[in-house]
Structure 1
Amino acid sequence: MKKIFAAAAAAAAMMLSTTGAFAEEPYKLGVILPLTGPTADYGADFRRGAALAEEQINAAGGIGGHPLELVYADSKNQAKDGVAEFRRLTAVDGIPAIISTMTGVVLPQFPLSRETDTPMMCVGAVSPEIRTGGPTVFSNYPLADDEEKEIAEFAFNKLGFKKAAIIYENSSYGKGLSSVFISRFKELGGEILAEEVIEKGGRDFRSQLTRLGATKPPLIVTYAYYAEAGLLVRQASEVGIKAQFLSHGSVQNSAFADIAGASANGFISGSPSLNPTSPAVQKFNSEYEAKYGKKPDLYGPYFYDAVRLYASAMERGGYTKEGILKALKETKDFAGVTGSISFVDSNIAKLPLTFMQFSDGVWKPIEK
């Protein structure tokens, strides 16, 4: 309990330090994250990226003299909590714009976004259904119908795998991403040897892995968050499976390697990634490490950019739903640390993928 009060006091002190010097009222932005529950490590990564952007925006004078204030809400990575927190932030707190994440959370929030004309930025959720969210829904992260197709093409054409097995989480996230991969892999002439399903929060996947192993797959594609993916890799080794593992960006979290242990070596992940030669990226990495004492995980920079995108939209369009929405839609060639972002042709940003392989404790890029 003392730790909780200490954390709350520290958060309050930070808020005073970042907004207390301003004469104008704050411009508030709602950020719905999994702050507790089995995917809380993701939420911590997301929050670090968002908080760094908030701090820097306010240090530079805020938005037209107004401090930016991020108001956090906990989805617990549960649809009902995500919907309830969306309602609270918009209807009760009067916040005009939202950032949200996790596929199973954002999809049921879309009707609320449309009905209330509230701009909503999805960050890190990749379901192609996000394209159907409506005119108020945006994403600064590529979706699975682009991402998973490219991953399938990389597996077939670059890595040379013509057969694969697939294991995925029993959720809209797992089903949606795996179906895109399977469809494209088959179109290319590939064969899916077996499919297995796991439950989110599960801890023993040996029976599913044993069935997959019986087909002797040279490649196993997995769609699961870092906790389950780490266990899958470790337990695959325990049951004697020797196959290449491949996934998208969900495994690029420091906790994945901690869970998987030595079995993490060789895992390949395809995701948008920062350009290490970019001065903006080098500056971000330096500032992030100086603040948090660690390197950023995959998704933190996208939350950093999402906050900055909204700040830019508020600067250009004003602090209203209508103004923010119009300015977001007019965003073209926004210089994010994750790349150049535009929404003029689509509410979904398109960014190239980088393929990374885990080796010697770090993710290293693979040439396409």
Structure 2
Amino acid sequence: MNTFRLCIVVAGLHLATAFPSQAADHQIGALFPLSGPNATYGDIFMSGADLAVDHINADELLSGELSLRYEDSQALPQRAVVGMTKLVNVDQVPYVLSAFTGVSKAISTLAQRNQVVAVNGGGVGPDLAQLGEYFWNVIPLANLEVRGLVPYLVEEEGLKNVVLIYVDDPLGQAIRTELETELPTVGGTLVDALSVPTTAQQFSGIAAKVRAAEPDAVYIASYGAQQLQIVKQLRDNGVDAQLVTYSGYSVSEALALPESEGLIYTTQSVDYDSDDPVTKRFVDDYTAKYGRAPTAYNVNYYNAVRLFGLLAHALEDKGQAVTGANLLAERMATDSFDLVGGTVSFQDDGTLVAPIQINIVTDGAGQPVATVDVAD
């Protein structure tokens, strides 16, 4: 009888090794503005992230299905903390997509404390590189955008005297600091810096101050509906100086604004015509699915989700659990990743550095005019 039981146990062990364990589904989270004045960004971010989920599941990259759990941040730090708390404590996700500088800073403490990876593909405040080992950036930060742009403005375009209009939050304050630092190095001057509250929508008084300063260029550091109103009201109030801004303007609604014609803005550089298989698949499938060409934000959130897929796949191959701590360790142990735009590597602070592309709005679309390599 004992011998019979032993045979049953041995047979059971052989069966357990002959068949793989049950596939494990994976869920990650995202804190995007799904309502409010910045909901346009949420739609843009989701389209890139959702396509990456489609591709990961179609390729059976993971043992089970990958899904995305969205929480509405409204681009507000307090709302984001509520959403992050739910994603961490209720949904127990190991990986969360974030956006906007203020939101990212607000949720970074929760990410660090709970060993949950947070990945930013939209906020560009330079201090986002200093939020701890569990906070990663797949977008060049504002210091790199400004660093790439300033020499072009001053040396190529002869636009030496700049007025800054900036939203009074971490993003705007960071861009002010960068302009104050970078302009003098190439013979430029920050003539004035005009702050506006995050909720402001009337800018005739700001326009009057800009006219009085007579700048060569006006740099706008804002986002969402507010940045469109600034551009429109500057032009409506007789400001004819060159308008300049950062990658937050690279959304179709902003580019299509008639007053945007001729505006200069920066983005990360991505060769959308590349034959690289990851990039080509992304561009072809994004265009087919959404009926429009992708932009840098679509790339960033596709890459953020693809990065999770690659890391989780590697962990599953090693028989390790897909936790935030293991995802961090795997990222640090991996030299490079094949993402949209090419093969990339992370710096020690969890940030990617990419060349900066300078664009001019022409007929409602951004036309690249220069690409600049920048060092962090």
TM-score (norm 2): 0.87
Gaps of 5+ in 2: 1-21, 316-320, 372-376
Query: Shift of residue 344 of structure 1?
Result: 5.5
Given residue 152 of structure 1, which amino acid in structure 2 is its aligned partner?
A: V
Query: Shift of residue 214 of structure 1?
Result: 0.9
Query: Shift of residue 226 of structure 1?
Result: 4.0
2:115 to 100, 114, 117: 117
Query: Shift of residue 135 of structure 1?
Result: 1.3
Given residue 365 of structure 2, which amino acid in structure 1 is its aligned partner?
A: V
Given residue 140 of structure 2, which amino acid in structure 1 is its aligned partner?
A: P
Between the aligned partners of 1:133 and 1:56, the Cα distance in structure 2 is 30
Who is 1:278 aligned against? 274
Between the aligned partners of 1:320 and 1:276, the Cα distance in structure 2 is 33
Counterpart secondary structure, 2:296: coil
Query: Shift of residue 208 of structure 1?
Result: 0.4
Who is 1:17 aligned against? none
Instruction: Give CA deviations for 1:118-146 in whole Å, capped at 9, x if unaligned.
Output: 11111121112112111111111111222
Q: In 2, are the aligned partners of 1:97 and 1:120 still within 8 Å (CA)?
A: yes
Counterpart secondary structure, 1:160: coil
TM-score (norm 1): 0.89
Q: Say whether 1:363 aligns with 2:366.
A: yes
Who is 2:83 aligned against? 85
Between the aligned partners of 1:295 and 1:131, the Cα distance in structure 2 is 29
Q: In 2, are the aligned partners of 1:162 and 1:190 still within 8 Å (CA)?
A: yes
Query: Shift of residue 219 of structure 1?
Result: 0.6
Q: In 2, are the aligned partners of 1:45 and 1:299 still within 8 Å (CA)?
A: yes
Who is 1:156 aligned against? 154
Between the aligned partners of 1:282 and 1:227, the Cα distance in structure 2 is 32
From the CA coordinates, give the structure whose radius of gyration is larger.
2
Between the aligned partners of 1:186 and 1:344, the Cα distance in structure 2 is 28
2:289 to 268, 273, 291: 291
1:340-359 superposed matches below 5 A: 340-343=343-346, 345-359=348-362
Between the aligned partners of 2:347 and 2:159, the Cα distance in structure 1 is 38
Between the aligned partners of 2:179 and 2:247, the Cα distance in structure 1 is 14
Runs of 4+ more than 4 Å apart: none
Between the aligned partners of 1:329 and 1:127, the Cα distance in structure 2 is 23
Instruction: Give CA deviations for 1:56-77 in whole Å, capped at 9, x if unaligned.
Output: 11011141x2111111111111
Given residue 352 of structure 2, which amino acid in structure 1 is its aligned partner?
A: A
The two structures, once aligned, show a CA RMSD in angstroms of 1.8
Q: In 1, are the aligned partners of 2:37 and 2:224 still within 8 Å (CA)?
A: no
Counterpart secondary structure, 2:28: strand
Given residue 265 of structure 2, which amino acid in structure 1 is its aligned partner?
A: S
Given residue 137 of structure 1, which amino acid in structure 2 is its aligned partner?
A: F
Task: Name which of structure 1's ranges 337-346 and 176-185 shifts more when overlaid on structure 2.
Answer: 337-346
Between the aligned partners of 1:110 and 1:128, the Cα distance in structure 2 is 14
User: CA, structure 1 residues 344+268, in 2 after alignment: closer, same or farther (shift >3 Å)?
Assistant: closer
Between the aligned partners of 2:330 and 2:347, the Cα distance in structure 1 is 10
Query: Shift of residue 54 of structure 1?
Result: 0.2
Given residue 36 of structure 1, which amino acid in structure 2 is its aligned partner?
A: S
Gaps of 5+ in 1: 1-22
Who is 2:188 aligned against? 190
Instruction: Give CA deviations for 1:167-204 in whole Å, capped at 9, x if unaligned.
Output: 01111111112221222112333112222122234322
1:238-277 superposed matches below 5 A: 238-258=236-256, 261-277=257-273
Between the aligned partners of 1:343 and 1:273, the Cα distance in structure 2 is 17
Between the aligned partners of 1:175 and 1:96, the Cα distance in structure 2 is 31
Query: Shift of residue 316 of structure 1?
Result: 1.2
User: CA, structure 1 residues 132+316, in 2 after alignment: closer, same or farther (shift >3 Å)?
Assistant: same
Instruction: Give CA deviations for 1:189-245 in whole Å, capped at 9, x if unaligned.
Output: 311222212223432211101111111111111101142222222212211111111
Q: In 2, are the aligned partners of 1:195 and 1:212 still within 8 Å (CA)?
A: no
Q: In 2, are the aligned partners of 1:151 and 1:248 still within 8 Å (CA)?
A: no
Between the aligned partners of 1:364 and 1:274, the Cα distance in structure 2 is 13
Query: Shift of residue 147 of structure 1?
Result: 2.2
1:228 to 221, 226, 229: 226
Instruction: Give CA deviations for 1:294-342 in whole Å, capped at 9, x if unaligned.
Output: 2223301100000000111111124122211111223333121134321
Who is 1:34 aligned against? 33
